[in-house]
């Protein structure tokens, strides 16, 4: 493959949105950040220089990083963050992946403005498994705050309460016509009547699942998380933070201007959320797009489902089928069951002003462990250098306590431990994880993302997972393949993968506020035999903490 060199300079940039200007961190002054375009098999060499004021690291979301966790990016997990003034070069090869992925900061809430698309075309000479579109556009959904998002997070962590909700959603970093002072910068996607375009939809929002629709136009889903799917047609896409969804759209309507719009989806109210709507415009290149006096005509808005329309969301998700048959691991060596819950913890740090009842604050945990990111080093560096005391490998494979996960049980039943606990997997083992979303304390969706892997989604259901009955209904024939999967309140999702990528790999909820509360764990996948099954040597100039 080809080698692509890029320079990414993280820098404060004046950005004007919603009638005011503020300094935010960007890459090379671009917002959204640069689109990386490569072919399957190519290598990326990205020299990142931190000219900003915050520690930062970058993550290439969904890239498998085979044997190369050093390039994965989550701060304190695979590397120390790059300090202001520092530099780190990410070097990685795309191995057998095609489609849309993205990259984002993996430090606190910096990904609010530090993100961009990563597009992987088929190898030269091969093509898509669908008719080649005449035009392609990345479509990045995002979230905007009228304050520095790092300050929003800081405030939330000090009080221990939920953070302030965002002030706008965005499409390609623009809020669009329905927000103040945004009209003239609304993103426009030009089309010729009759052509079929490919939209590479990425949900880069920090804390919100979104519905997306285009007025009067259907979408055909062909790929998600850089894996092709069996095509299916839909009026509405539901997309969780971290996920990508490629859709084909045929411009088969009367030439005009049509709104594309996105708004919040949550299957339960949970904490307060932003319920505004972002728009862009699908604009036919035709005279009909102008009114008599020469000004552009007003587009039609699509029908978007209500924020809590779980039927539409679930019906959409249920349509996904994989194309890769016969590769699902059938025999399972590691049968894991992880509960995912929010809750409250007694305040242990005097700096936290606890605003929950009885001197408590929010927390989040998996199998009763609230994840703590190390400070003085990264887990991967500690592993490589045999530094003791940084992490343990006693993450519990099943919850220490069993009860009705769908009930709103009292928090007294469940007081999480805090720790940097990993679960160790043998190289090559076949892993099944049932992710059980519990209704303890508050009821929320959790889009769960696994680094370094994609996985088969073999089953999903409501209520408590039943190990004696539910596996009989698993789809082991053509399950979808994802790197991020939504889990719904009081419901479960079963995933399977082969532990063929050695390293330290984070698994976490992609709602960033939940990471701050500890909704994460990590796998330590041991080396196999020989160099081709082992972690590569660390690159030069790994940042130090
Ligand atoms: Cu897209 Cu750990 O993140």
540 inside domain: no
Domain co-membership, 282 together with 339:
no
328 inside domain: no
Q: DSSP string of 112-159?
A: GTSEEEEEEEPPTT---SSPPPSEEEEEEEEEE-SS-HHHHHHHHHHH
Domain co-membership, 11 together with 26:
yes
- Residues spanned by the domain of 84: 1-129
Domain co-membership, 303 together with 446:
no
> Taking the model in full, what pTM does it have?
0.96
The span from the CA of 28 to the CA of 486, in Å, is: 33
Q: Is the CB of 111 under 6 A from ligand 1?
A: no
Q: Which of 273, 292, 321 is the last residue of a domain?
A: 321
Report cis status (omega within 30 of 0) of the bond before 32.
yes
Domain co-membership, 47 together with 189:
no
Report the relative pairing of strands 236-239 and 209-214 from DSSP bridges.
antiparallel
Domain co-membership, 370 together with 462:
yes
Give the CATH number, domain containing residue 220.
2.60.40.420
545 inside domain: no
Please state, in angstroms and as integers, the Cα–Cα distance from residue 211 to each residue in 1, 32, 238, 266, 317, following that order.
37, 20, 5, 10, 12
Q: Which of 321, 345, 369 is the last residue of a domain?
A: 321
Domain co-membership, 360 together with 236:
no
The span from the CA of 230 to the CA of 63, in Å, is: 22
Domain co-membership, 212 together with 100:
no
Contact between 502 and 533 under an 8 Å Cβ cutoff? The reply is: yes
Rounded to the nearest angstrom, the distance between the alpha carbon of 79 and the centre of ligand 1 is 14
Domain co-membership, 29 together with 61:
yes
Q: Which atom of ligand 1 is nearest to the CA of 104?
A: 1
Rounded to the nearest angstrom, the distance between the alpha carbon of 512 and the centre of ligand 1 is 9
According to DSSP, the residues that pair with 169 across neighbouring strands are: 143
Beta carbons within 10 angstroms of residue 402's beta carbon: 10
Which residue, by CA, sits nearest to atom 3 of ligand 1? 61
DSSP alpha helix (H) spans, 307-401: 310-318, 379-385
Tens digit of each residue's pLDDT, the chain (545 residues): 999 999 999 999 999 999 999 999 999 999 999 999 999 999 999 999 999 999 999 999 999 999 999 999 999 999 999 999 999 999 999 999 999 999 999 999 999 999 999 999 999 999 999 999 999 999 999 999 999 999 999 888 877 778 899 999 999 999 999 999 999 999 999 999 999 999 999 999 999 999 999 999 999 999 999 999 999 999 999 999 999 999 999 999 999 999 999 999 998 877 789 999 999 999 999 866 677 777 888 999 999 999 999 999 999 999 999 997 668 999 999 999 999 988 777 665 555 566 555 566 778 899 999 999 999 999 999 999 999 999 999 999 999 888 888 886 665 556 788 899 999 999 999 999 999 999 877 778 999 999 999 999 999 999 999 999 999 999 999 999 999 999 998 899 999 999 999 999 999 999 998 998 899 999 999 999 999 999 999 998 999 99
Q: Is the CB of 61 under 6 A from ligand 1?
A: yes
Rounded to the nearest angstrom, the distance between the alpha carbon of 307 and the centre of ligand 1 is 24
Q: Which of 293, 321, 349 is the last residue of a domain?
A: 321
Beta carbons within 10 angstroms of residue 21's beta carbon: 8
Query: Structural domain tally of the chain?
Result: 3
Domain co-membership, 281 together with 403:
no
Q: Is the CB of 514 under 6 A from ligand 1?
A: no
Contact between 333 and 525 under an 8 Å Cβ cutoff? The reply is: no
Rounded to the nearest angstrom, the distance between the alpha carbon of 60 and the centre of ligand 1 is 8
326 inside domain: no
Domain co-membership, 414 together with 517:
yes
Q: Which atom of ligand 1 is nearest to the CA of 515?
A: 2
Residues present in the chain in total: 545
Rounded to the nearest angstrom, the distance between the alpha carbon of 507 and the centre of ligand 1 is 8
Domain co-membership, 311 together with 221:
yes
Domain co-membership, 51 together with 107:
yes
Sheet (strand 257-265) strand order: 188-191, 277-284, 257-265, 209-214, 236-239
Q: Computed over its alpha carbons, how large is the radius of gyration of the chain? A: 22
User: ipTM for the complex?
Assistant: 0.99
């Amino acid at each position: 493959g080809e080698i692509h060199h890029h320079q990414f300079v993280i820098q404060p940039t004046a950005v004007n949105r919603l009638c005011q200007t503020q300094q935010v961190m960007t890459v090379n002054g671009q917002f959204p950040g640069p689109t990386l375009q490569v072919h399957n098999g190519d290598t990326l060499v990205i020299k990142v220089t931190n000219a900003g004021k915050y520690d930062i690291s970058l993550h290439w979301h969904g890239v498998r990083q085979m044997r190369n966790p050093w390039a994965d990016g989550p701060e304190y997990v695979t590397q120390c963050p790059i300090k202001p003034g520092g530099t780190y070069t990410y070097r990685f090869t795309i191995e057998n992946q095609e489609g849309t992925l993205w990259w984002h900061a993996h430090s606190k809430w910096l990904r609010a403005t530090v993100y961009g698309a990563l597009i992987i075309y088929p190898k030269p000479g091969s093509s898509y498994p669908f008719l080649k579109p005449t035009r392609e556009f990345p479509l990045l959904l995002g979230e905007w705050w009228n304050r520095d998002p790092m300050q929003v997070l800081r405030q939330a962590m000090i009080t221990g309460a939920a953070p302030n909700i965002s002030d706008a959603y965005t499409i390609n970093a623009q809020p669009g016509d329905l927000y103040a002072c945004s009209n003239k910068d609304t993103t426009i996607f030009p089309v010729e009547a009759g052509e079929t375009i490919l939209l590479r939809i990425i949900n880069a929002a920090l804390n919100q699942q979104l519905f997306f629709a285009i007025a009067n136009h259907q979408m055909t889903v062909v790929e998600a998380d850089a894996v092709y799917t069996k095509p299916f047609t839909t009026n509405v896409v539901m997309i969780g933070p971290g996920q990508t969804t490629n859709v084909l759209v045929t411009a088969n309507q009367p030439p005009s201007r049509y709104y594309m719009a996105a708004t919040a989806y949550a299957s339960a109210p949970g904490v307060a959320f932003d319920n505004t709507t972002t728009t862009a415009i699908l604009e036919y290149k035709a005279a009909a797009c102008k009114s008599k006096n020469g000004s552009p005509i007003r587009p039609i808005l699509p029908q978007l489902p209500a924020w809590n329309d779980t039927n539409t969301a679930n019906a959409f998700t249920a349509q996904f089928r994989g194309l890769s048959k016969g590769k699902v691991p059938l025999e399972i060596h590691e049968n894991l069951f992880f509960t995912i819950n929010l809750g409250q913890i007694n305040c242990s740090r005097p700096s936290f002003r606890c605003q929950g009842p009885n001197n408590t604050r929010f927390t989040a945990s998996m199998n009763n462990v609230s994840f703590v990111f190390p400070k003085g080093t990264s887990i991967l560096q500690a592993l490589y250098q045999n530094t003791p005391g940084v992490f343990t490998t006693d993450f519990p494979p099943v919850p220490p306590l069993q009860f009705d996960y769908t009930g709103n049980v009292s928090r007294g039943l469940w007081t999480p431990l805090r720790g940097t606990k990993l679960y160790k997997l043998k190289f090559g083992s076949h892993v099944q994880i049932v992710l059980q979303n519990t209704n303890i304390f508050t009821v929320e969706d959790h889009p769960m993302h696994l680094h370094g892997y994609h996985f088969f989604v073999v089953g999903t259901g409501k209520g408590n997972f039943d190990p004696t009955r539910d596996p009989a209904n698993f789809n082991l024939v053509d399950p979808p393949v994802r790197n991020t999967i939504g889990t719904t309140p009081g419901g479960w999702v079963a995933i399977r993968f082969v532990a063929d990528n050695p390293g330290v790999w984070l698994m976490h909820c992609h709602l960033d506020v939940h990471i701050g509360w500890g909704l994460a764990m990590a796998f330590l996948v041991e080396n196999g035999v020989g160099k081709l099954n082992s972690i590569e040597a660390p690159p030069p100039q790994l940042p130090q903490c």
